[in-house]
Structure formats: C-alpha cells, structure tokens
Amino acid sequence: MVDFKINILLIKIMKEAKFYKKLNDNNVQCELCNHFCTIKDNQTGFCRVRKNKKGKLISLVYGYPVALNADPIEKKPLFHFMPASYTYSLGTLGCNFRCANCQNWDISQAKNIENKIDNLSFYDPESIVEDAIYNECASISYTYTEPTIFTEYALDIMKLAHSRGLKNVWVSNGFMSKKCLEEILHYLDAINIDLKSMDDDFYQKNCAARLKPVLENLIRIKKEQIHLEITTLIIPTLSDSIDMLSKIADFIVNELGTDIPWHISKFSPEISWKLKDLPATGDDIIYEAYEIGKEAGLKYIYVGNLPGDQRENTYCPKCGELCIRRFGYHIERLDNNGFCPKCDADLDIID
C-alpha cells in the first residue's frame, strides 16, 4: 500500500508534458495550443494545468479526470457518428478558453489545481479503457473541458482504445496548435468543434482566444476526413446576428462541405459562468438560424435544447424521408444502415 502511494506521487510529479520547448533562465514555451504561453519557473500556463518545474513542463492533470460518465453519443453532440451508441466520457480540470458563457465553469475555470487534484483519484489509461468496455461503450470521448489541455493523457488513452477496438471522439474548441492536431489526428475518429462566431472580436472578448486558428484547424480536420460536426451556441446580443450566422453557414458549405452537421444551441443564463444579465436564447432565432443553414445548402442542421422539436430529427437530404427520430436522447433509427429507407440516399453516417 505504501509503495502504491509512492508510485502515485511519482506519477504526479514526473509526468512531463509533450509539446514544449526550453528557453533561457528555466523558462519554457508551451506549444500545445495557440496561446503558446511562455511560462516561468514555478508558474502555470493560461490553462492552469501545465506547470514549469525547474525548466521542465509538467501536466498536472495526467491521470486525474474530474468527470467520468457513460453518455449517449448524441450528448456530445454527434448525430452522424455511431448513432444511439454510448460513449465513455472524461474530462479534467482546466481550460485554455475563458468563455463567459461556459456551462462547466466550475471545472474548466478551477483555480488551485494542485490542491484540487490531491482530492482526486488516479486513473491510468488502462483503467479508463477497461471501464469503457465494462460500460459497453463503443467509443471514448474527451470532453467536458477542453481536451487539448490534457492531450498527453488523452493520447495514451486513445492509443489503447484503438488497440481494444474503441473509437475516439473529441469535443473541442479547436484551438490546439498544429503540432498537437497532427499528433491526435492519428488516433481521432470523430470530433465536434464549437464554431462560436465568425467575429474575431467575439473570440477575443468572450473567450480570450482567436478565431483564425479554429478555422484553420477545421479545414485541416476536414482534409484528413475525420468525422466532423460543428456546434454554435447562439448568445443574445453577442452571437445572434443574421449576418454572422450566415457567415458560419457559408464557411461550412464552402470550406468544409454540405455534409457537415451543424448543431445550433440555446444559451441559458442560469447555468452560465457570467452573462447572467442576458436573456435565454429565444426559439425564433434558433429557427431562423436553421433556415439560414438550409438556404446555404447544408444537408443536416439540428436544434439543441428543444426536445421533441422535429428539427432534432435526421431527414433524407434527397427525398425528405424521416430517417432518425430523436426525442432528447431517445433515438429511433429508421434508416437502413446509414442509407435512406425510401430512396437509398447516403445519410453520411458512420456506424
């Protein structure tokens, strides 16, 4: 038992980060995301989970998930990737964004990470994969907070997951560095990326980030033919302009393809980190965004947080037949193994 505790302690202290370079005077530069933080000795980067210890960059969260659940894949949301399957989902503390609208802010914006981790249990990658299999999940999702910031842990799990026949899913803000993206692409099967706005000012003010790297990464992911879906949260006054929503729809159509599913979801002030004074997103703008996507030429547009709305369903893009009926996370598959049961059109589904 004593030995076991010592081992845990060593793993905590010794897990060196992957993507960084050493600078003068024991400083380091993290190369994991597009912040490229320069970090002084004994300091953490912007995400609060990567710490410079005497010129060595350490991942503080390797092996310490703060949330573990078997979720419906639709919750990510992914509607065209193994529909109606379960995905073993995990996330750690920390984030490289500061989204004022964050719904998981209690874990994403946590401070004093080292103290908090002292109260978490260690899960090695093998135990995560075993638990996913035990829970009859078809995939593992790296989610809840931004997986980029726990890439080392995710990568080790992803490699094992593939060797055991499980798929890997990321739910991401898309702000990882090129270096990070190239490495995860080897093991990634599907990803949902938030395209929060087409306005760089929004990214800077609301998220403390930038738009351009997200767009570039989306194009790279599409080129690699990784299954991709996109989510946009419509926030009243901040990301609800018709012009901006049209730009998102046009970007998806022109740069990524009409087959990319676009999820439009509602903002709720009660559960957001900040922005408590804003109203909840009205249904009208959600329906308007849906029409904007249709007019732009997207084949699959879905409304979120509106259980029972027919716009949650998948219809055949060719003949209009109902192919997957959804009510929240109750999924009824009427398709024929990813093809329309009426006209046999391809529904761009991966099973």
Based on the shown chain and the rule CB under 6 A, indicate whether residue 267 belongs to the binding site for ligand SF4.
no
Q: b/e for 102-115, b at 16 or more Cβ within 10 A? A: bebbebbbbeebee
In this structure, what are the phi and psi dihedrals at residue 88, rounded to the nearest 5 degrees? -80, 120
Span from 28-36, 136-144, 241-249, 342-350 in contact with ligand SF4 (CB under 6 A):
28-36
- Rounded to a whole number of angstroms, the minimum distance from the CB of residue 136 to ligand SF4 is 33
Contact segment (CB under 6 A) with ligand SF4 among 43-51, 119-127, 194-202, 208-216 equals 43-51
Q: Which two tokens stand for residue 258?
A: 């009409």
Q: Residue 44 or 87: which CB sits closer to ligand SF4?
A: 44
Residue 316 beta carbon to ligand SF4: minimum distance, rounded to whole angstroms:
42
C-alpha–C-alpha distance, residues 272 and 182, integer Å: 32
**What CA–CA distance (Å, rounded) separates 79 from 321?**
17
Distance of alpha carbon 261 from the chain centroid: 15
User: Judged by CB, which is closer to ligand SF4: 77, or 174?
Assistant: 174
Task: Find the part of the chain contacting ligand SF4 (CB under 6 A) among 33-41, 112-120, 160-168, 249-257.
Answer: 33-41
Q: Looking at beta carbons, which residue is closest to ligand SF4?
A: 45
From candidates 35, 167, 196, 227, binder to ligand SF4 by CB under 6 A: 35
Q: Which stretch binds ligand SF4 (CB under 6 A): 46-54, 75-83, 207-215, 277-285?
A: 46-54
Task: Tell me how far apart the alpha carbons of residues 346 and 52 are, in angstroms, rounded to a whole number.
Answer: 50
Nearest CA to 175 out of 208, 213, 143, 228 is that of 213
Among 12, 28, 47, 173, binds ligand SF4 (CB under 6 A): 47
Residue 96 within binding range of ligand SF4, rule CB under 6 A: yes
Dihedral pair phi/psi, residue 185, rounded to 5°:
-55, -30
Residue number with CB closer to ligand SF4 (47 or 256): 47
Question: Which residues inside 117-156 make contact with ligand SF4, applying CB under 6 A?
Answer: 149
Q: What are the phi and psi torsion angles at 47 (to 5°)?
A: -80, -10
Q: Which of 30, 78, 209, 323 binds ligand SF4 (CB under 6 A)?
A: 30
Query: Would you list the DSSP string of 54-102?
Result: TTEEEETTTT--SEEEEEEGGGTT-SSBSTT-EEEEEE-S--S---TT-
Residue 289's region, left for phi above 0, alpha for psi from -120 to 50, else beta, is: alpha
| Assigned token pair, 88 | 């073993």
Indicate whether 37 belongs to the interface with ligand SF4 (CB under 6 A). yes
Answer left, alpha or beta for residue 171, where phi above 0 means left and psi between -120 and 50 means alpha: beta
Residue 36 near ligand SF4 by CB under 6 A:
yes
**Binders of ligand SF4: how many residues, by CB under 6 A?**
12
In the list 12, 28, 32, 296, the residue contacting ligand SF4 (rule: CB under 6 A) is 32
Q: Does 33 bind ligand SF4 (CB under 6 A)?
A: yes
Binding interface with ligand SF4 (CB under 6 A): 30, 32-33, 35-37, 45-47, 50, 96, 149
